Every structure is written in C-alpha cells, then in structure tokens.
Amino acid sequence: MKVAVVGAGLIGQAWAIVFARGGCEVSLWDGNSRALESAVPAIARRLSDLKDYGLVSDVDEVLKKLLPTSNLADALVGSHYVQESLPEVLELKVEIFGRLDALAPGGAILASSTSGFPASAFTQGLPGCQRCLIAHPVNPPYLIPVVELCGAPWTSSAAIEGARSLMESIGQRPVVVKREIDGFILNRLQGALLQEAFWLVENGYVDAAGLDATVSEGLGLRWAFMGPFETIDLNAPSGLSDYCKRYGGMYQSFEQSTNSRKMGQGWSPELVETLNGQRRETLPSSELAERQAWRDRRLMQLMVHKQKAAHAENVTKLSPEAERGR
Amino acid sequence: MKVAVVGAGLIGQAWAIVFARGGCEVSLWDGNSRALESAVPAIARRLSDLKDYGLVSDVDEVLKKLLPTSNLADALVGSHYVQESLPEVLELKVEIFGRLDALAPGGAILASSTSGFPASAFTQGLPGCQRCLIAHPVNPPYLIPVVELCGAPWTSSAAIEGARSLMESIGQRPVVVKREIDGFILNRLQGALLQEAFWLVENGYVDAAGLDATVSEGLGLRWAFMGPFETIDLNAPSGLSDYCKRYGGMYQSFEQSTNSRKMGQGWSPELVETLNGQRRETLPSSELAERQAWRDRRLMQLMVHKQKAAHAENVTKLSPEAERGR
C-alpha cells in the first residue's frame, strides 16, 4: 500500500507515523522545503518516544518507509491513498484538491484531515469528486485511534469503504459519519459535555477541579474502554431500553432544569427502540450478563493501570523504562 | 475510625468493602435478616475478585473488619460516620434518618447514598440536621473512586469536611457539590453527552457502534485520567482561555445546530475567566508544557494498557491470573 501524506506540519507528521508504523510506503510532501526538512527528525523523535512505551518496535524500520519529497507529482506516483493536512484555509483546500485530483492515480482515494470545512466545500465540481472525503484524526492519531470518515453527498461508498478498510488495516478505528455535520461526532459530544460543565460551574454547583475529578475518577473510567451506549446498555438488567425506561425521565428532567437551553421532545420511544436494536445486534440479550462481567474485569484492570501510572508519577520523574518496569 | 453501614443490599455491600479495605472498623446493619446473612458471603466473593487483580491484598484481613448486626443501636455504637443505603423510597429515608439521628453518637456524620432525593427532603427538622448529607457513590465504589458529597442548606461545613477527609483517607475521591441539584455532577454530565448522542443517531449521522467507538477509542481515553477542563486547558498553547477563544465559537455553533434544544447565552467571558483562574491555581501557566508532556506519557501508558487488556480478552477467556501475568 502506498500512501501520500500532503503537508508536513504536526498533523502530517503524525499521519506519516501512523501509516509508516502500519506498514505502508509513505511519501511525505510539503511545499515549504524547511517544513519538509525538519519533519523527518521531528518524526524520529516522536517514534523514539513511542518505542520507549512499546508502541513501536523498530524506529529505523518505520523511518525507512518514509520518502520526503518537495515534488507533488513525485509524491503521488503510485499512491493508493492521499491524506492532506494543510492549514485550515478554504482556498488552500480548494487549490490542493484540484491538484491532487489532477495528479493522483485514478484509483487513489483523496482524504483531507480538515475539521473546519465539509468535503462538499472544497471538492464540488472536481472530475474525481466522488473519490474525495474527510478522514478527520484526533490529535495525535498515533495514540488516539479514532478517525472520523465523512464524505460529501457525491462521495462514493467505494471511497468511504476504501478509507475505512485502510484505517482498520493500520490499527486505527474508523467511524463513518453518514451525513455532513459541523464537528463530526467527537467534538459535538465533547461540546455537549463541556456545555453542561460550564453551566454547572457558572451556577456555583462545583469548581473546575471537582468537575474534572468527577470525570477522571468516575465517568471517564468506563468511557476509556466502552462508549456511552454500551455503558447504559450494561447498566440495566435488560439493556438500553430498560435503562431508558428507568432513567430516561431523570435525564430529561436534568435537561429541563438546565436553564441555558430548552428541551426538545427528548428521546422518543422509536429512537430508544432503534438504538436498542443496534445494541442487540452487537450484543444479544443472552450475552448481557457475560459482557457486564467483562466490563467489571476491564474496570479492575484499568484501576490497576491507573494506580501504577499514578504511583510511577508520584515516586519521581522516572524514565519511561523505569515506569514500564514497575 | 468506626463506620456503620446501614442497609446490606448491593450498594451497602460495596460500601462495606470500601470502608473495610480502607482500614475502618465496619458494622453492617440490615433490618432484613436474610439480606444480612447473605451479605457477608457476597462481600467475600467480591473481595476475592479484587484480590485476583491486586486491588486487595488480604481478603480475610478485610473481612475481619466487618461486624454484621441486626440491631441498629449496636451497629451505631462508637461510630464516627454512618453510610445509609436503603432502597430509594422517601418515607424510608425520613424514617431511618430520624432513627440514626436519635441513636448515633453526637459527633457522628450521617450520610445517605441516595441519588433520588436531596438531603433537604429527608433531614429537615431533625435535631442533628446539620450533620446530615448525601455521599453519593458511583457503582461499584470499590472500583470507581468518585463520591459526590452534597449537603442540605443546613448541613455544616464541618460535616462536609469530615466526610471529605474520611473519603480521602480510604482512597476515594470526594467531590463537593456546593448546592443541591438533581443528578449531582456525574449524571448531569452523562446526561448531556447522552442527549447529544441520541440526537446524532436520531438524525442519521452515526450509529450506536460508531458513536461508542468515537468515545472508547477517542474522547474517553483522555477522560480516563484527566477531566474535560484539564483536557481543553492542555489543548491550546496558553490554556483554557486560549482554547475558548479558538474553539468556543465552534462549540456554540454546534449547540445552535442541534435543534433539539436552544442555545442560551453560551460561555460568557466572565465564566471563561473564572474557569481559567481555577485552572491556573491548579496548574500555573509556566507548567502547561510539562503537563502536556505528562498527558502524552499517560496516553501512551493507557494505550499499552488497553492493548494488553484487549489482547488478553482476544486470546481466550483467560483467568485473571493469566491476564495479569502477560
């Protein structure tokens, strides 16, 4: 698999690590030759950190897969997938996608890292518009696996599937966002929680440290290994619908009392059924109890992990080697 | 320290583990003698699980600290702190708090596990109303450290401080909720995120599995060791205010486009300043860069942990011993 990384800033460097670590041949292009020159040593430093934690086995092996070039056509030769990470300026995106579509091999998928614009804003009218999409990483993608894939209305399902399959093959976790929406999924969820967090502080219920502890020593522990739907699905004897029956009213009442916004119609029975159906496809009712036991095991492992990590931090500023040896 | 656990159901059992593991002498009372009889073997089983993961060193040592009794006055003799966990029925809470206040030593703090009622609903008019509060655990409290402490308007700061100090001394993480509010902090934050999650599915942007992965392989990784304010504080070069300047508008626009609710005034400059001030007290600006490096180390450790845990789950249904030995 040959991948072209377009733009050698922080995000481009991180993508180069992800693709090269995943076994792809990676050409790294930047129009700014100084950015390009400094990118490889910066990548080497980050790889060395990853190696200290056992997240990369051989730094040189990964570096060997990288080919920096300041010639865009060269960078694109033979590429199956292109990941663009230029600055968040719409005119730049429009221009580079025009060039990418003209220069990249016909079968190549063209993806942008942008979180600022929908794909439809910079791919409309391109001859190859159907092969363009957004593959939005979370920073840094070599540590945070989720990649949000979001096409324009004209993006082909083949392009989405190709990107999804590549991401899976290199150890990322692609999530398909089915329609264009500002912020995709991750930032919207973060925003919703922040909105409530700001409101709680503004109204004097808690301070920043207390709110943070509520997440880092509570709510966030489960969310580090299962999502919010799985969490509630495992928190009532018969799963998600059961949970909504028991606690849906409570959540709606919070929403109503949070006077910085008005509640809409809440969670309709149809919506609860849809979500419950999706959960039951993932996890049949008969396996709920077993999965709850799994959750408890994972929580115990996570607590052990957190205790070790906190202990290592507290004892002294240990080297990563010493931390791992504990 | 002597603690009385009132109610020997699942929550009472879990509290008994937390207090006894923390070194307290624990009397365990239940009015139902069968519940009381089955509680100790159930506690022993859970302690054995915890021992398998290294979260308890000596099961018998912990069990020896437990004294089950069906006589409430006996359970309360000499107690410094009482944790009530009866069923969520207001009349029960009113009745038991009347009895606890009459029977417990004058200096004892009286806490309820309830999430269903504010302390003012069942402690009003008691001679010792100032020593009553809610200490709300997250289930199970022996794995999830956060405990929300919330008094009635008449609860003394000494009672809050006493509960806080006890919780800290036994390894829990108390969070003081400064005014009564439905759902305290944790469930309100969970509700806000769920509200957005339901809306995103309802409107066809993502399915349950994709949304869950966005959290468990993305957003939730940081939240397992730092809260949402610290997260954004470390995500802009100059901290929280800087982050809000850069991204506040983006989050407000999400809020506006989520048509199931209306945006209020958003995050005022004063609120941003207040929060930034609280963060700067916790972390001076001069230490931001160092803390960002810490975050990256913790993320790397967490990824190693998650990979090991997932690998252990995938290989086979291993015993906890084998998982830990990997």
Nearest CA in chain B to A301: B53
pLDDT tens figures, A90-115: 999 999 999 999 999 999 999 999 99
User: Which pLDDT belongs to residue A299?
Assistant: 78
φ/ψ of residue B111, rounded to 5: -120, 145
Residues A26 and A65 sit within 8 Å (Cβ to Cβ): yes
Please say which residue of B144, B177, B210 terminates a domain: B177
Write the residue in B54, B140, B173 that is nearest to A304 by C-beta: B54
A70-86 CB burial, b ≥16 within 10 A, e <16: bebeebbeebbbbbbbb
Q: Minimal Cα–Cα distance from B66 to chain A, Å? A: 23
Encoding tokens for residue B70?
């069906």
Put simply, the answer to whether A138 touches B218 (Cβ < 8 Å) is: yes
Q: Residue A266 — pLDDT band, cuts 50, 70, 90? A: low
- Which whole number is the average pLDDT over A140-158? 96
Whether residues B35 and B142 share a domain: the answer is yes
Whether residues B7 and B144 share a domain: the answer is yes
| SS3 state at A12 | helix
Using an 8 Å CB-CB cutoff, list chain A residues near B212. Answer: 226-230
Would you list the DSSP string of A114-177? Answer: -SSS-THHHHTT-TTGGGEEEEEE-SSTTT--EEEEEE-TT--HHHHHHHHHHHHHTT-EEEEE
Using an 8 Å CB-CB cutoff, list chain B residues near A136. Answer: none
| SS3 state at A108 | coil
Would you list the DSSP string of A291-321? Answer: HHHHHHHHHHHHHHHHHHHHHHHHH----HH
- Which whole number is the average pLDDT over A70-82? 98
User: Which pLDDT belongs to residue B94?
Assistant: 98
Residues in chain B: 326
CB atoms within 10 A of CB A290: 11
φ/ψ of residue B180, rounded to 5: -65, 135
Q: Residue A258 — pLDDT band, cuts 50, 70, 90? A: low
Distances from the Cα of B197 to the Cα of A246, B202, B217, angstroms: 18, 9, 16
| CA–CA dist A291, B249 (Å, integer) | 40
CB atoms within 10 A of CB B13: 26
Q: Please choose, from the candidates A54, A61, A70, A65, the residue with its C-alpha nearest in 3D space to the C-alpha of residue A15.
A: A65
Please say which residue of B160, B177, B194 terminates a domain: B177
Element spanning A286, H or E: none
Put simply, the answer to whether B262 touches A261 (Cβ < 8 Å) is: yes
Residue B126 lies in a domain: yes
Residue B184 lies in a domain: no
Residue B27 lies in a domain: yes
Residue A303 lies in a domain: yes
Whether residues A17 and A161 share a domain: the answer is yes
User: Which pLDDT belongs to residue A257?
Assistant: 66
Whether residues B261 and B317 share a domain: the answer is yes
| CA–CA dist B243, B225 (Å, integer) | 20
Whether residues B44 and B151 share a domain: the answer is yes
The CATH number covering residue B35 comes to: 3.40.50.720
User: Which pLDDT belongs to residue B260?
Assistant: 44
Residue B326 in this model has a pLDDT that exceeds 70: no
Residue A110 lies in a domain: yes
| SS3 state at A259 | coil
Residues B5 and B12 sit within 8 Å (Cβ to Cβ): yes
Q: Residue B267 — pLDDT band, cuts 50, 70, 90? A: low
The alpha carbon of residue B173 and the mean position of all alpha carbons in its chain are separated, in whole angstroms, by 7
Residue A259 in this model has a pLDDT that exceeds 70: no
Q: Are strands B132-137 and B146-151 parallel, antiparallel or unpaired?
A: antiparallel
Residues B118 and B150 sit within 8 Å (Cβ to Cβ): yes
Q: Does A200 lie at the interface with B, CB-CB under 8 angstroms? A: yes
- Which whole number is the average pLDDT over B120-129? 98
CB atoms within 10 A of CB B314: 8
Q: Does B48 lie at the interface with A, CB-CB under 8 angstroms? A: no
φ/ψ of residue A127, rounded to 5: -55, -35
Q: Minimal Cα–Cα distance from A321 to chain B, Å? A: 11
Residue B206 lies in a domain: no
Provide the residue range defining the domain that includes B245. Answer: 224-325
User: Which pLDDT belongs to residue B316?
Assistant: 46
Least confidently predicted of A55-64, A275-284, B21-30, B195-204? A275-284
Place of tokens 């694109």: A76
Its ipTM equals 0.89
Q: Residue A267 — pLDDT band, cuts 50, 70, 90? A: low
User: Which pLDDT belongs to residue A316?
Assistant: 46
CB atoms within 10 A of CB A127: 10
Q: Please choose, from the candidates B84, B183, B68, the residue with its C-alpha nearest in 3D space to the C-alpha of residue B131.
A: B84
Distances from the Cα of B291 to the Cα of A308, A321, B220, B279, B302, angstroms: 18, 19, 19, 12, 16
Whether residues A107 and A38 share a domain: the answer is yes
Whether residues A146 and A65 share a domain: the answer is yes
Put simply, the answer to whether A194 touches B228 (Cβ < 8 Å) is: yes
Residue A85 lies in a domain: yes
The alpha carbon of residue A120 and the mean position of all alpha carbons in its chain are separated, in whole angstroms, by 21
109-138 in chain A: CB under 8 A from chain B: 138
Residues A326 and A312 sit within 8 Å (Cβ to Cβ): yes
Put simply, the answer to whether A146 touches B213 (Cβ < 8 Å) is: yes
Write the residue in B188, B216, B271 that is nearest to A225 by C-beta: B216
Using an 8 Å CB-CB cutoff, list chain B residues near A256. Answer: none
Encoding tokens for residue B127?
């001679």
User: Which pLDDT belongs to residue A161?
Assistant: 98
- The overall longest dimension of chain B from CA atoms, in Å, is 61
Using an 8 Å CB-CB cutoff, list chain A residues near B248. Answer: none
Whether residues A231 and A141 share a domain: the answer is no
Using an 8 Å CB-CB cutoff, list chain B residues near A319. Answer: none
User: Which pLDDT belongs to residue A273?
Assistant: 82
Using an 8 Å CB-CB cutoff, list chain A residues near B271. Answer: 198, 201-202
User: Which pLDDT belongs to residue A170?
Assistant: 97
Residue A205 lies in a domain: no
| CA–CA dist B312, B115 (Å, integer) | 36
Whether residues A242 and A103 share a domain: the answer is no
| CA–CA dist B137, B149 (Å, integer) | 9
| CA–CA dist B284, B277 (Å, integer) | 10
pLDDT tens figures, B8-64: 999 999 999 999 999 999 999 999 999 999 999 999 999 998 898 888 999 999 999
Whether residues A27 and A171 share a domain: the answer is yes
Q: Minimal Cα–Cα distance from B141 to chain A, Å? A: 9
Q: Minimal Cα–Cα distance from B146 to chain A, Å? A: 5
Whether residues B315 and B252 share a domain: the answer is yes
Percent of chain A's residues with pLDDT above 90: 61
φ/ψ of residue A113, rounded to 5: -85, 0
Please say which residue of B112, B144, B177 terminates a domain: B177
Residue A138 in this model has a pLDDT that exceeds 50: yes
Whether residues B163 and B264 share a domain: the answer is no
DSSP state of A218: I
93-112 in chain A: CB under 8 A from chain B: none
User: Which pLDDT belongs to residue B247?
Assistant: 86
Put simply, the answer to whether A145 touches B173 (Cβ < 8 Å) is: no
Residue among A216, A240, A283, A315 with most chain B CBs within 10 A, to mutate: A216
| CA–CA dist A245, A242 (Å, integer) | 5
Put simply, the answer to whether B216 touches A205 (Cβ < 8 Å) is: no
Q: Are strands B109-112 and B132-137 parallel, antiparallel or unpaired?
A: parallel
| SS3 state at A81 | strand
Which three-class secondary structure string do you get for chain B? CEEEEECCCHHHHHHHHHHHHCCCEEEEECCCHHHHHHHHHHHHHHHHHHHHCCCCCCHHHHHCCEEEECCHHHHHCCCCEEEECCCCCHHHHHHHHHHHHHHCCCCCEEEECCCCCCCHHHHCCCCCHHHEEEEEECCCCCCCCEEEEEECCCCCHHHHHHHHHHHHHCCCEEEEECCCCCCCCHHHHHHHHHHHHHHHHHCCCCCHHHHHHHHHHHHHHHHCCCCHHHHHHCCCCCCHHHHHHHHHHHHHHHHHHCCCCCCCCCCCHHHHHHHHHHHHHHCCHHHHHHHHHHHHHHHHHHHHHHHHHHHHHHHCCCCHHHHHHC
φ/ψ of residue A147, rounded to 5: -130, 120
Using an 8 Å CB-CB cutoff, list chain B residues near A304. Answer: 53-55, 324
216-255 in chain A: CB under 8 A from chain B: 216-230, 232, 250-251, 253-255
Residue A223 in this model has a pLDDT that exceeds 50: yes
Task: Indicate the number of domains in chain A.
Answer: 2
Residue A166 in this model has a pLDDT that exceeds 80: yes
